[in-house]
Structure formats: structure tokens, C-alpha cells
Amino acid sequence: QVQLMESGGGSVQAGGSLRLSCAASGNSYGTFAMAWFRQGAGKEREGVAVIYTSSGNAVYADSVKGRFTISQDSPQNKLFLQMNSLAPEDTAMYYCAAALYDDGGHWWDDNEYHFWGQGTQVTVSS
């Protein structure tokens, strides 16, 4: 079992920044990948960014590329999402997710992830 807990959400004006954190515990074997997803009101959950644990390589959704940065602190079992130039369309509940192994699917497919946090709300006002 892996427990994930997000923090760092809040309300910010357009153009502002927030840094989300995700603390992972309960897994001694490591993960294949960690990702951030988000779900806005009335919308489907979408992948925001993924980082492959061993290599540190990251991939981003087109909608956040150049504005968001995903990073990890492996010794501390923490995942981060630095969000800059926030816009109202970024308003959503943001979730941290962990994939223990590669199922062979797309990173943005939430079925690829085995554990999820409870989410942290990000609200961006214009």
C-alpha cells in the first residue's frame, strides 16, 4: 500500500504561482512513475504531468507545458508541482498518483496508476 497526501493548494489570482506537494509513504519498493492529475468542475480528470522515478524524465500536458514543472525529492518520498502563470482554466482539484509498475499504457490514462491522494483544490480568479 502507498499513501499519498497532497498539500499546497489554495486561491490565487491569474498570473500567480502555487507549489503543490505530495508526500508518499508506505512503500519500500519504490514506484515506476508519479503524476499529477486534475479535475475541474463538470470535467473529466486529466493528466497534468508525469515524472518517471528512476530516470527523472518528465512529460507534460500541452495545456501546462512551459508553465508547470514537476519534480521529485526521492530521499524524502515527495513529489512537487510548481505552477506559474496560473489561469482561471487551471482551477481544479489536483491529485497525486503513483504507478508501481509500467502497465504499458499512456501516462495520461488514470487507469495506469495504482494509488491516489485525496486531492488539493486550486482556484484561480481572473
Q: 57-106, pLDDT tens digit by residue?
A: 999 999 999 999 999 998 878 999 999 999 999 999 999 999 999 988 99
pLDDT band at 30 (very low <50, low <70, confident <90, very high): confident
Among residues 26, 29, 21, 28, the alpha carbon closest in space to that of 5 is found at: 21
Question: What per-residue confidence (pLDDT) applies to 29?
Answer: 67
- State how beta strands 120-125 and 10-13 pair: parallel
- Dist CA 121 CA 57 (whole Å): 26
Q: What's the CA gap between 90 and 64, in Å, rounded? A: 9
